[in-house]
Chain A
């Protein structure tokens, strides 16, 4: 047996994860010691802890060696992973802001809620750096298992139970299939490290590899709710408590994409011939079907769920152009999508606090009595449509650029799909905006909606991020572009 050599830990690079793990332990300890009295402070501690874990990310981003590798290449901290970690943490912070009133007012268990939320974020930050099948799997489960519980959080509400059950069954089934694919990839390459797998499956091909790749892609397709594996998403989003829905729709989905980016970018680049058709079909179906179903939704949250499926299609598309900056385009799109989507959920929550409904018709005349909320929601909707200079327009631009530059057959077809679907999507987004601005308010709705400070703050953060990143996307592009391109050989197309 070879002697054991303790791996060198780069504590600075691991600091964000350590802080988050510490916050989880502190929240649990507080709950254990104070029991019910902890309720008053857990929310603020979770928020502060999340902000605290941003500090090491900032120091890492500004340090001289932005790229740090540990455990023989299984754990990599580079500028892209830092950007993604920041994305997860800020999204979770906004979700904490959204939860403060919602969870406090409802009949919920608060301490456990925040503990689970932060552990899920811990899983996401690990995911952003994992370059090994085992760490990817453990990170994926660490982020999913708390999410299953959060979706079923309102215990006495049958709808929330149902949301949790559907999410759980689909998620667990997906990760089982994913694991089977991973086991085949491991068996063929003899290593769990993505770069080794990439090398091994690039040299030799076998049916087992193809099966493995297809199973892995199907497993992740469930996680990012790509058509035809999307059935759980609308039901889960509608039934789960709304802050949890925002978390699932933004952070959880982004984490699924991060895992896909890792696996495809590091391991499957040399099997593009297997991967491209699967991904292209998933992307095209997600965009088209997501948008077509979104057209006839009357509930804003369900509409956002289906639009999220369509947006997942936009984000899947650049994978077929992985060697032409497609991956960077996905990262950029993810960040902008997160800002816009969180903002939209925050405004919908603020409105639903009073109207007790998320039906589109209940938004009628919003501008006349609550102009601030109406303007904010209009900004987010316009960003979804892709109107410059608001947020997502730059994401769409990056996606199109990557697709067109790659000049592949599939990429060209997908570019056409993206263009068509952007047009379809504009209809239902702008329909909501029209209802707010021009329709009459329902009877008795004339006093302005009171928005709690935390919710106001959440909308503010999302608004600033959406507008600022849309107007001045330079730093975002820099962070999303890796300094050194990975040594990937041209694909065998």
Chain B
């Protein structure tokens, strides 16, 4: 069945994204990994939506729009940190502990 291939692709993208979030230390690359996960979700939703009505595609549209807003905020915070510390390495964020 065709659906399975889409789901497999989505699962692979999801795994790559999670791997990226955990391993990458650069704020911007972490954001890109999160985008990968969201795109995996979109593939899932559209693939499922092909079988069971329009809701999946509508959901995917909302995910796209919200993802853009999230990345906008995320980049703004990364910029803020860069301005104050001249680095976007998230491992260096260690002022708060305990």
Contact = CB atoms under 8 A, between A and B. Distances in A.
Interface in B41-98: 41, 44-45, 47-48, 51-53, 55-56, 58-59, 62-63, 66, 69-70, 73-74, 76-78, 80-81, 84-85, 90, 93, 95-98
Interface string A146-190: 001100100110110111111011001101110110111011001
A234 B98 contact: yes
Contact of A186 (B48, B76, B77): B48
A176 B22 CA distance: 14
A412 interface: no
Interface in A422-455: none
A184 B44 contact: yes
A146 B37 CA distance: 22
A191 interface: yes
B58 A179 contact: no
A302 B98 contact: yes
Contacts of A152: 77, 80
Tier of interface size on chain A: 35 or more
Query: Chain A binding site: helix, strand, loop or mixed by DSSP?
Result: helix
A351 to B, nearest CB: 20
Among A133, A148, A161, A163: residue with most chain B CB under 10 A: A161
Contacts, number: 128
A158 B59 contact: no
A447 B48 CA distance: 67
Given A161-B80, A235-B97, A239-B96, A172 B70 contact: yes
B77 A180 contact: no
A179 B62 CA distance: 11
B66 A141 contact: yes
Interface in A130-156: 133-134, 137-138, 141, 145, 148-149, 152, 155-156
Contacts of B70: 141, 145, 172, 175
Contacts of B96: 159, 162-163, 166, 234-235, 238-239
A169 B91 CA distance: 13
A162 B81 contact: yes
Contact of B51 (A165, A184, A190, A239): A190
Contacts of B55: 134, 186, 191-192
Contacts of B37: 173, 176-177, 179-180
Contacts of A361: none
Contacts of A138: 62, 66
Contact of B90 (A156, A165, A234, A239): A165
A134 B27 CA distance: 28
B56 A169 contact: no
B41 A176 contact: yes
Tier of interface size on chain B: 35 or more
A200 to B, nearest CB: 10
Contact of B84 (A145, A156, A299): A156
A221 to B, nearest CB: 16
A155 B82 CA distance: 11
Nearest to A236: B96
Contacts of B85: 158, 161
Among B21, B47, B69, B98: residue with most chain A CB under 10 A: B98
Contact of B38 (A134, A166, A179): A179
A297 interface: yes
Contacts of A141: 66, 69-70
B65 to A, nearest CB: 9
A24 to B, nearest CB: 15
B63 A179 contact: yes
Nearest to A175: B70
A475 to B, nearest CB: 37
A155 B79 CA distance: 11
A180 B73 contact: no
26 contacts: A133-B59, A141-B66, A152-B80, A158-B81, A158-B84, A158-B95, A161-B81, A162-B93, A162-B95, A165-B27, A166-B93, A169-B21, A169-B74, A172-B34, A172-B74, A177-B37, A183-B10, A184-B44, A190-B48, A190-B53, A192-B56, A192-B59, A234-B98, A235-B97, A238-B96, A239-B95
Given A161-B85, A175-B70, A183-B45, 19 more contacts: A137-B59, A145-B69, A148-B77, A158-B85, A158-B95, A161-B81, A161-B84, A165-B81, A168-B74, A176-B34, A176-B38, A180-B41, A187-B56, A190-B53, A191-B53, A191-B55, A192-B56, A234-B96, A239-B96
The 6 A-B residue pairs with the shortest CB-CB distance, nearest first, are: A190-B52, A187-B48, A183-B44, A235-B96, A176-B37, A179-B41
Interface of B: 7, 10, 14, 17-18, 21, 27, 30-31, 34, 37-38, 40-41, 44-45, 47-48, 51-53, 55-56, 58-59, 62-63, 66, 69-70, 73-74, 76-78, 80-81, 84-85, 90, 93, 95-98
Interface of A: 133-134, 137-138, 141, 145, 148-149, 152, 155-156, 158-159, 161-166, 168-169, 172-173, 175-177, 179-180, 182-184, 186-187, 190-192, 234-235, 238-239, 297, 299, 302
